[in-house]
Structure 1
Amino acid sequence: MEDEKNLFKEPYSEYGSYTYADYLTWEIDHMVELIKGKVFRQAAAAPRRIHQEISGRIFFKLYLKLEKKKCKVFSAPFDVRLPVKSKKHQDINTVVQPDICVVCDPEKLDDLGCVGAPDLIMEILSPSNNKKELQNKYEVYEESGVKEYWIIHPYEKTLLVYALIHGKYVPSKLFTLGDHVASKCIQGFVLDLDELFEGIESI
């Protein structure tokens, strides 16, 4: 019976500290992220329909905008490694899977995903989002040099942009229906929030 339990035991502990080298060895059927060595397990259930609809709409718009250009757009699951000391697997202790990210430096891309800060990261909030996790992500995105960090709340139909200025994030106003949100780092990309949230039911 003990052996049977061990078959389903997680290969990590909530109190442990891990690296990308550890992460690569885990055989698990759910998504996890590492933030400064700490494991954040994502909800076991698939993202809600509204989350996926918003993600799909944004990805489609970015894909069309960036097609045949240097910048590339990716959606989760997609590993983004944020190195501090070096790019060696054993030295990286932050690996995140943003809902959407745009990478404009081809040298940051490899077969495993992205190593280094994307230019733009978007996170779409859901009821399972952990406030501590979001705060930690804010810190590592700022420290690693992500130029823009967009947080989208599909149920409240709002969007907040953090822009990196002199190494620190500066928040925008809270955008909502009727607003058009332009990216400063992805030239020409503008999100019409009326279009984005059209048909999305509030809860």
Structure 2
Amino acid sequence: MSPTDNLNEFKEEIIDGKVYYMSPSANPRHGRIIGNIYFIFKSYLKGKTCEVFTDTIDVFLNEEGTDKVIPDVSVLCDPDKFTDKGYNGVPSLIVEVISPTSIKRDRETKFHKYEAYGVGEYWIVDPLNKSIEQFVLYEGKYKLNGVYTQLDEAEKERLYEKQGFVKQFKTSIFSELTIDIDEIF
């Protein structure tokens, strides 16, 4: 068996025409976080036009196919852009849960790509630090809207109100949706 025989097990993303191979499966912590975020959005979006997907759908950011991503979680709001191959358009919100093999791609390559295509909101979730960086598109550039961290029980009482830490936040695209950090981690 050659090393390339295993490539069939990997999902592939294409950014600027360059192929990036993704790990075939996430570790349990990574998977739980993705599942928790999916559940929050799935519950909220019930009966609404937008849909939420995990890394089960290919998102084609352009018609040429030179930018195809498979976000950990994406909120897709244009029903006309679904095809048998995936979603041809720009998601309203994307969540990437970083891992040791994806940090640079999620923080730099995808960050700039999502910003350039106009993804309205982008979260970078760090499982080890139990934090979410929420970026919101403002005049074509991402602005850090907030960093939300799950604190342990001893720190919660000491830091939440006294130091300005919050345990809930809202998305920019759904003003009625409040997300509790503890439900994600």
| TM-score normalised by the chain length of structure 2 | 0.84
CA contact (8 A) 2:135 2:146 kept: no
Which residue, 67, 70, 76 being the options, matches 2:46?
A: 67
Which residue, 135, 149, 155 being the options, matches 2:122?
A: 149
Letter in 1 for 2:173: C
Structure 1 residue 6 displacement after superposition:
9.8
CA contact (8 A) 2:56 2:70 kept: yes
Distance, in Å, in 2 between the alignment partners of 1:33 and 1:110 is: 18
Going by fraction, where is strand more abundant, 1 or 2?
2
Residues 65 and 5 from structure 1, CA distance in 2 versus in 1: closer, same or farther, beyond 3 angstroms?
Answer: closer
Structure 1 residue 172 displacement after superposition:
2.0
Q: Which residue of structure 1 lines up, in the alignment, with residue 60 of structure 2?
A: 81
CA displacement 1:10-50 (0-9 Å, x = unmatched): 6xxxxxxxxxxxxxxxxx22111100101111125x21000
Distance, in Å, in 1 between the alignment partners of 2:18 and 2:114 is: 16
CA displacement 1:80-100 (0-9 Å, x = unmatched): 0011xxx2xxx2201000000
Residues 155 and 110 from structure 1, CA distance in 2 versus in 1: closer, same or farther, beyond 3 angstroms?
Answer: same
Q: Which residue of structure 1 lines up, in the alignment, with residue 19 of structure 2?
A: 39
Identity of aligned residues (%): 33
Structure 1: stretches of 5+ with no match in the other structure? 11-27, 198-203
Q: Which residue of structure 2 lines up, in the alignment, with residue 24 of structure 1?
A: none
Aligned residue pairs total: 170
Structure 1 residue 149 displacement after superposition:
0.3
Q: Does 1:8 align with 2:12?
A: no
Structure 2: stretches of 5+ with no match in the other structure? 151-165
Distance, in Å, in 1 between the alignment partners of 2:98 and 2:17 is: 23
Distance, in Å, in 2 between the alignment partners of 1:103 and 1:8 is: 33
Letter in 2 for 1:113: G
| TM-score normalised by the chain length of structure 1 | 0.77
CA contact (8 A) 2:98 2:106 kept: no
Distance, in Å, in 2 between the alignment partners of 1:152 and 1:79 is: 20
1:23-34 to structure 2, matched below 5 A, reads: 28-34=8-14
Question: RMSD value over aligned CA atoms?
Answer: 1.9
